[in-house]
Amino acid sequence: MMSVMSFPALPSPPSWFPGHMNRFTKQLPALLSRTDVVLELRDSRLPLTSINNNLEGAINKWRAERGHHSTHVAPISPTTSRNSSLGYGGPICERIVVLNKRDFVPEWGVEPFKRAMKTKFPDQTVHFASCNKPRDIRSLSEMLINIAKRNPHATEMNVLVIGMPNVGKSTLLNSLRNMGIPGRTPKALQTSAQPGHTRAISTRLKLSEDPLVYSYDSPGVMLPFLGRGDRGAERGVKLALIAGIKESLYDIEALVAYLLYRLNVLNPISPAYLTLLPPGSRPFTDAEDFLEQLAMRLNMLLRGGEKDTVRAAKWFVEWWRNEGGLVSASVPEKLPTGSDGFHAPLLRRGWGFDFEWTVDASINSTGGDFETTVQMKMEECIDESIRAASEDERSGVGISTTQERKRSWQEKQSMRAAKSKAKFAARKAV
């Protein structure tokens, strides 16, 4: 009988925070002052990890200033002052969380996740989308247009799109523009599979002509520091797997070890990677053994017949980011829980890479309410994520050791300057 794969050892997270990300973070409050709707993109595979808590402060302040309980509101034009465009209903203030790449997560978890998020964050609208599915884009386009139509006295509505690197912001905006503007529309924004391609705020992009809806694309912003310990290490590996962090900052085989673990959790009976191997292959618990088998299967060999496991590892990660993600999303909601002599008993299940829970009788029973049970498990995971985020904030996650030293040095310099100024004033008074 196969054993259960243990959680792999993970490398410490790198710090990747180029200057354009820092500039955008500083510009955000001013940008929000002329924004009516914040469209925040996250990756469906990492719906909690792809939240950038460093942007939350500016967004929460914007909502508090605008009075986020009002929905019948008028937009603010970037060419007019804030007070001149409030309209009779007050300023508009909407935040929509878009979980992109929905086809990479099992459909059975979408509705339980929406309900779990509504329970924990009742003031956030959650929308799942895939840019290659016109139905999803049409639904999101109609959502934006309906917000604008609720404010007929307004001349236009402005949407700011934010999110971590490589979650699909530019691609989504191109799709929304193509859906909302009649006739052929050329691709307005360049896209790339590599993180950090968009480095500045875009010019205004028209998404609808009647009513007028405009949008701004923005650079993907990473956390300046991903955290210490196991939590920070796992956060970094997850983001590297979705190409949210430069892959060159990580050892590719470490990414494979974690990916193998996650695919085993998603479907312990028949993990997605088994489709790459000969029929009858069993789930792997060792990344090195798996890569040797994969290299042999793909005929990736070095001189002398040695298996090229590094090349196989790169291929495997890229496979998962594309068709492999679709395969892993096809896992059924019900899996057998007992051992059949070949597979270990089903002990853990997951949805995406951010949700994992212990299997009990209710989660897999045919008679119980499966969706309600999954929602409950997801709420527990969200509670743990909120608790961890609060703990990280208290311990200074988002600020690296180097940044802490720099801030401490700046504070000391300011104190010295203040003391010198006070001494000078005292001598002058004498």
CB atoms within 10 A of CB 262: 21
What residues pair up with 160 in beta bridges, in sequence order?
Answer: 38, 216
Exposure class string for 43-74: b at 16+ Cβ within 10 A, else e: bbbbbbbbbbebbeebbeebbeebebeeeebb
211 preceded by cis ω (within 30°)?
A: yes
CA angle 336, 342, 344 (to 5 degrees): 55
DSSP 322: I
pLDDT score, position 77: 38
The phi and psi torsions of 275 (rounded to 5 degrees) equal -65, -15
Most distant CA atoms of the chain, gap in Å: 93
Q: What is the DSSP string of 5-25?
A: PPPPP-PPPP----HHHHHHH
Average pLDDT of adjacent 10-residue blocks, the chain of 430 residues: 72 75 84 91 94 86 74 38 42 90 95 96 92 92 94 86 87 88 62 50 82 86 79 92 86 95 92 95 94 96 93 96 94 71 65 89 58 94 91 64 50 65 66
Report which secondary-structure segment, H or E, holds 126.
Answer: strand 125-128
Q: For residue 46, what are the β-bridge partners?
A: 43
Both structure tokens of 219: 């650079």
Q: Which DSSP string do the residues of 178-222 spell out, in sequence order? A: HHHSSS-----S---SSTT---SPPPPEEEEETTEEEEE------
The pTM is what? 0.80
Report the alpha-carbon distance of residue 82 to residue 91 in Å, rounded. 9
Provide the residue type at 111 as one letter. Answer: E
> Between β-strands 94-100 and 125-128, what pairing exists: parallel, antiparallel or unpaired?
parallel
Structure tokens at 369: 């309410």
Per-residue pLDDT at 121: 93
Looking up tokens 């503007």, which residue turns up? 181
How many H helices and E strands in the chain?
13, 8
Distance between CA atoms of residues 149 and 228, nearest Å:
47
Supply the DSSP string of 335-401, one letter for each residue: ---S--SSS----EEEETTTEEEE--HHHH-SSS-HHHHHHHHHHHHHHHHHHHHHHHHHHTTTS-H
pLDDT for residue 204: 80
- The Cα–Cα gap between 320 and 89 comes to 48
Instruction: Render the burial of 381-402: b for 16+ CB within 10 Å, e for the rest.
Output: bbeebeeebeebeeeebbebee
Q: For residues 39 and 99, what is the distance between their CA atoms, to the nearest angstrom?
A: 10
Tell me which H or E stretch contains 109: none
What was the pLDDT predicted at 369? 84
Gap between the Cα atoms of 102 and 136, Å rounded:
10
Beta bridge partners of 350: 356
